[in-house]
Amino acid sequence: MKNCQNRAYRLRASLRLASVSIISLSLPAAIFAAPLPTTLDNFFMKGTQPDPTGAIVKPIRTASNCRNCHETPDPSDPGYPIYSRWQGSMMANAFRDPVFQAALAIANQDAAFAGDLCLRCHAPGGWLGGRSLPVDGSAMRNEDFEGVSCHFCHRLVDPVPHPENPPQDDPIRAALAAIDLLPDLPGGGSFVIDPNDVRRGPFALDPNAPIPGGNPGNPPYIPQNAHIRMKQCTAGANQNKPCNTNTDCPGGLCSGLLCAGGSNDNMPCTTNADCPGGKCSGNAPIIESALHGKADLCATCHDVSNPAFTRQPQGSYALNVVGQPHATQNKYDMFPIERTFSEWTNSTYAAKGVDAHGVFGGTIPNCNGGSNDGVRCAANADCPGGVCKGIVSTCQDCHMPPSQTFGCILGDPFYERPDVPEHNFNGGNAWVQDMLLNLYGGVLTPDYLYDSQQRARFMLENASTMELTNESCRINVRIVNQAGHKLPSGYPEGRRMWLNVEFRGPDLHTITEHGAYDNVNANLTTPDTRVYEVKLGLDASMAATTGLAVGESFHFALNNKVYKDNRIPPRGFSNAAFEAVQAAPVDATYADGQYWSDTKFHIPPGATSAVVNLYYQTASKEYVIFLRDQNQTNDKGSTLYDQWQLTGMSPPVLMRQQTISNLSAGLFGDVNCSSTIDLTDQHDLSGCVAGPNVRMKLGCESMDDDLDGDVDLLDYAAFQIAFTGPN
């Protein structure tokens, strides 16, 4: 394998170097018109490398091969939660996603070959097959549109050796290590794949092995090596049904062989003649893999870094030399784009698990409290001073919750388990499904997309809790993060969560509103409320290099500075730990251990109640328009914009709503509710005066005398009149 991998690497290297004649130029030395003259090497990541021939790395097979056994015959039947759940997910549609397609075009415009980094995780089968060149994805085949598919995930190998890893992983890692291609840490799409079509899963191969939450089989639970053991009828009345002998198959034969490739791919066979264009062979082998039950599996694509930048001693990020891979290949030395996995790693969820009170899917019992806190248990007796109960710990607990159901349609009761992972993969995206239905209605099943959308809403509705407190002249809104990572998390551009507060009078009419959203024009009023989001952008060095402005931008491939990150940390947060993984708050302050956010709103005169809403939006209007207007390459930006308009303009999802009553307003200008208007209030309100028709900033409400939404000279004059001084 060593020589094969070297050949594959050299092939891509020759293509990289041929792309630009400037090999040793340090980019910050000059200004370049877009795109920057980066090469494929600037975005190189370790791990298994592409093999266009398929001789070294066997091709990733289409998910339709899995559909035969892992999809319910009735799309409305949720009893087989594997293929149907996956097809409706954003994992299956990572490449089809029109937001991704539009962002990919801009990335390639901004920095040559930047799209290769994106395609690693959005179309890994195509990337491994050498179809990421050209980097706009135009060489991708139909099966590549399946995004992150079954065979890709189930062929992943843990890049980090652990005792529980299967021994078959060792030579794969050793071969990559011998040519310096073994990643030190999972992340950024630097994945390791079994070069052969050998699949992995978390279940024991022994059919009589105990199952958490269940009993040893009687009849036995089907082991995950069913692909080897299972025999099916090749034809006749019982075609494709399980069998033991030919007598079970009137009109056909009982065979444990399947067609590999060709028009009858994955169908039962007895000879090659049954497989036009393919071969009749034994079913694909299965390996028990601890990785597939661990959160480390998700790190593969949910800790994303830009390897074109290197972290400097003072904390800034400098663009690397053209034509050179990142020197250390350590994701924490690259510019951070997403840190969802690292956020989880440094949370209580990862450390010992959290009792989610049944909201999410944790079923693995651990001690909660007592001397064995966090230790696996079977009964309360195992937990002195505590209790034994199911917890949420890994990514899979929430995003692939276990269920008592059938994992395969080919036989009851042999295929039922109490811990079949629902392949939901839902996060917070409850909008893109509508666009996918419009664009790929003939390929995707509408029910699967709709169900995925509803599951995403469930995740959003349960990701937080809200607590409202009456503090005399103001209310405090506390949002508690119940997720195992920041809230919100994931890809930063365009995503946001915000507070909407309506103060109402006795007749329930709205007196003032904070964080108002115009559903007709998709405009959010931001200055007077708290918006939880990440703002990336360019520092002075990158601005000088590109000719773009210093500050916040949506130029994903060029951004090298985090200007804002006020998202709410998870349980177990510490500033030092999050700083170490490039996930520290920016332009916001959270104390160690804080996993909530407090926001105060002053009660306006006449208000007796307030309705507080927490909203989430997948893509802001500003981001969608940027992707349309900046596109000079193809029609992906305009396609996104048209679909955005057709599907409600990424309508906000209501995450939480709560009402507080019996309110009474404090004094005008009394910021700290002291019942006096003194120098402290004057100091706190300094900077509030912005002029007429300029929406006031959060915290300036008590200085808006005429309740017109701004703080101008008339309001300031009223404050001067009301000023009383101490006591």
Per the model's pLDDT, the better-predicted residue between 359 and 214 turns out to be: 359
Q: Which helix (H) or strand (E) holds 124?
A: helix 124-128
Q: Is the pLDDT of residue 308 over 60?
A: yes
What count of other Cβ atoms lies within 10 Å of the Cβ of residue 447? 14
Q: Are 631 and 637 in contact (CB under 8 A)?
A: yes
Q: What pLDDT, on the 0 to 100 scale, is given for residue 66?
A: 85
173 to 4, 43, 162, 187, 437: CA distances (angstroms):
14, 22, 12, 16, 40
Pair 445, 77: CB distance under 8 Å = no
Q: How sure is the predictor about 76, in pLDDT bands with cuts at 50, 70 and 90? A: low
First-residue to last-residue Cα distance in the chain: 82
What are the pLDDT digits (tens) for 424-454? 999 999 999 999 999 999 999 999 999 999 9
pLDDT at 9: 43
**What pLDDT, on a 0 to 100 scale, did the predictor assign at position 476?**
98
Most confident of 373-377, 419-423, 451-455: 451-455
| Cβ contacts of 506-512, under 8 Å, gap ≥ 24 | 506/608, 508/609, 511/604, 511/605, 511/606, 511/607, 511/707, 512/604, 512/607, 512/701, 512/704, 512/707, 512/709
pLDDT of residue 78: 57
Res 413 pLDDT > 50: no
Stated pTM of the model: 0.88
For residues 669 and 663, which has the higher predicted lDDT (pLDDT)? 663
Q: What is d(CA 191, CA 150) in angstroms, rounded to the nearest whole number?
A: 15
pLDDT in the model for residue 382? 82
Select the more confidently predicted residue: 678 or 192.
Answer: 192
pLDDT band at 25 (very low <50, low <70, confident <90, very high): very low
pLDDT for residue 667: 86
The DSSP annotation for 615-641 comes to EEESS-HHHHHHHHHT--S-SHHHHHH
DSSP labels, 230-261: --EE-SSTTBTSB-SSGGGSTTS-EESEEEES
pLDDT (0 to 100) of residue 34: 64
Q: What is the mean pLDDT of the chain?
A: 87
Look at 242-246, 281-285, 576-580 and tell me which has the smallest mean pLDDT. 281-285
Q: Would you place residue 596 in the very low, low, confident or very high pLDDT band (cuts 50, 70, 90)? A: very high
Contacts of 168 (CB under 8 A, 6+ apart): 194, 198, 287
Q: Give the pLDDT band (50/70/90) at residue 650.
A: very high
pLDDT at residue 68 in the model: 74
How distant, in Å, are the alpha carbons of 286, 435, 656 from that of 662?
63, 44, 21
Q: What is the mean pLDDT of residues 223-245?
A: 69
For the residues 9-25, what does the mean pLDDT come to?
A: 37
Question: Quick check: bond before 570 cis, omega within 30?
Answer: no
Determine which of 218-232, 366-380, 589-603, 643-657 has the lowest per-residue pLDDT on average: 218-232
The closest of 132, 118, 134 to 189, measured between CA atoms, is: 118
Token digits of residue 625: 């328009």
- What percentage of the chain has pLDDT greater than the value 90? 63
pLDDT digits (tens, 9 = 90+) for 205-222: 765 565 544 444 444 444
Distances, alpha carbon 54 to alpha carbons 82, 126, 259, 277, in Å: 27, 11, 18, 16
pLDDT grade, residue 282 (50/70/90)? low
Enter the DSSP assignment of 221.
P
Q: How confident is the model at residue 273 (pLDDT cuts 50, 70, 90)?
A: confident
Region 308-326 average pLDDT = 97
Cα 430 from chain centroid (whole Å): 13
Question: Looking at residue 386, what is its pLDDT?
Answer: 82
Three-state SS at 273? helix
Give the start-end residues of each E strand in 364-473: 364-368, 387-391, 402-406, 416-421, 464-470
